[in-house]
Chain A
Amino acid sequence: MNLFLEEDVPDPTDFPPDTNAPGLRSLDEVLRCTICRELFEAPVTVNCSHGHCFCSLCIREQMNTKQECPLCRQTIAEVYIRRNPIVEDILGAWKLSRPFILKLLEERNSSPPATPPTHSVTLQSIPSSLSKRRRRMSSSSDDEIVELPGPSEMRQALQKSDVKITSSRTSSRKPMVQCPICRKEMTEDIINRHLDDNCKPLSTIRSPTPKKRKIQTQEWSRLFGNDSFANKGKARSKPLPELDIKEAESLPKMAYDTVTAKTIRERLSEYSLPTEGEKPALAARHLRWITMFNANLDASPSERKTLQQLRKELRKREENEGLQKRRKTRPHNVDVNVYEKDNKLAFAQLVEQARPKPPSQRPAVQASVCDDTSILDEVAVSDSTEIKRTSGSGVQ
């Protein structure tokens, strides 16, 4: 029956109840986000009076629809979301010790209680003696603590060295100054641009090269709203240089109602995101990107995902949704046909009523029209009664 239960899901019930292993099950339970039921990822505290804690991504997604704490319904605001580094550290340790403790428990259950001296020996032999379920179990929880995969690590290392090279190269020639706002050291020639960009991370700014100058003029032209500064006919926004996620700052939200699809496309292309689709799809993608990006910043720098990983995740989620939507629309179409068949008689009557009639029958027709409008009135007035309905909902 349960094909999809094959994949093992780590869960507090992996631990025996309190009578056998006091506190372990509840420990695993309190370290889980109440929204996704996973161990907290980038835990944050919201500004309700209880200081409730969620995964950053979970609560940020929820707050895109509603500004209230899911647990106590108090009004909260996104600007007051604060990282919870201690919980994050606890989780780091728990993710390491969880499979280990499970192994120990397994061992305690499988070996007779009268053999404590052989403790260390049995410990080593456990992996082979584990049940299939446990083995899968521990491997899947290992997944949770797996560090960044190789390629992305290399990429980060590359980025870092890149920054170092530029700074060492420039520092040999130019005097260093300190930013009065963020206190970072940098060369004289980039400080102005750094300040103009609200203390953008250094990695994205280098001394102005011809290419950079072009971007600058593009930004000026964006400011003035015309193309006179930029090269006409060419795409105006290019992907920004890949920024170091460890020094990134949170992205502002956008008022999608007031901007055009073109503007959203530009913003998307700055982060090398796909720009196909209509405006609603673009806006949804941009909002999701910003949510994921900002949530990622609530993890400690060493735990953060790279932009590449984030992009991959975004694509995966869009694909998932596409699948679901297609699945949904199919029965929907059938519904319309069935509806048409079921109501054939009613439709025929309505068509008959709508046909022009000789003058003698007109009063009857008007009466039926009146009936209809009175129903509409009722629907419109029914705020105070049980329900309101969206117009035209009856057709679906």
Chain B
Amino acid sequence: MSTRRLQKELLELKNEGAPAGIQLLKGDDFQSWILSIEVLGESLYKGDKFALEFRFDSQYPIAPPSVTFVVNEQFQAPEHPHVYSNGHICASILANEWSPVLTVSAVCITLQSMLASCKRKERPPDNDRYVARAPADPRRTRWAFHDDDV
């Protein structure tokens, strides 16, 4: 199912265009896609461009994709209370609140609004401890969600 569904999502991104501020950078297989994301309008991240990497397995969309901010020479993870410096994101929809009706572009929009509503640029309080021991795949982390405002 995963490839057919991804084909359809890709087709939609190409035919109807990605949502405002979001751009497909790499989408040439069914394992991983990279999309760039910008926060439009007034926000702490004005003018910044970030990249999100989506990794899919055969269980998609029943299982969530693994979504991280790309951290390399070109891109950095945004400084945000729910984003670790290794690019891992603490967001419930990527873990226990994932729903199979969500799509790549829906996830991008959610993360875009998470950045847009940020009040203070800072790393999560346990950033260093987490980054030192984080699994490669953020889906292996057991997250505890506490911030309902975002």
Contacts and interface: CB of A to CB of B under 8 A. Distances in A.
Interface string B107-133: 000000000000000001110011011
Contacts of B11: 5, 9, 11, 13
Interface stretch (A65-73, A117-125, A209-217, A294-302): A65-73
B55 to A, nearest CB: 9
A387 B62 contact: no
Interface stretch (B35-43, B46-54, B141-149): B141-149
Contacts of A387: 90, 124, 126, 130, 141-144
Contact of B135 (A1, A65, A396): A396
The contact size tier of chain B is: 35 or more
B134 A385 contact: no
A298 B39 CA distance: 45
A205 to B, nearest CB: 36
Contacts of A20: none
A247 to B, nearest CB: 28
Given A4-B30, A13-B15, A388 B142 contact: yes
Interface stretch (A29-37, A153-161, A256-264): A29-37
Interface residues of A, number: 44
Contacts of B29: 4
A63 to B, nearest CB: 10
B130 A1 contact: no
B101 A71 contact: yes
Contact of B124 (A5, A335, A386): A386
Interface string B1-36: 101110111111001100000000001111100000
A164 interface: no
A320 interface: yes
Interface of B: 1, 3-5, 7-12, 15-16, 27-31, 57-58, 61-63, 90, 99-101, 124-126, 129-130, 132-137, 140-144, 146
Given A71-B101, A393-B134, 17 more contacts: A1-B28, A3-B28, A4-B28, A4-B30, A9-B8, A13-B16, A34-B100, A34-B101, A35-B100, A37-B4, A384-B146, A386-B90, A387-B124, A387-B143, A393-B133, A393-B141, A396-B140
5 contacts: A7-B7, A383-B144, A387-B144, A394-B134, A396-B135
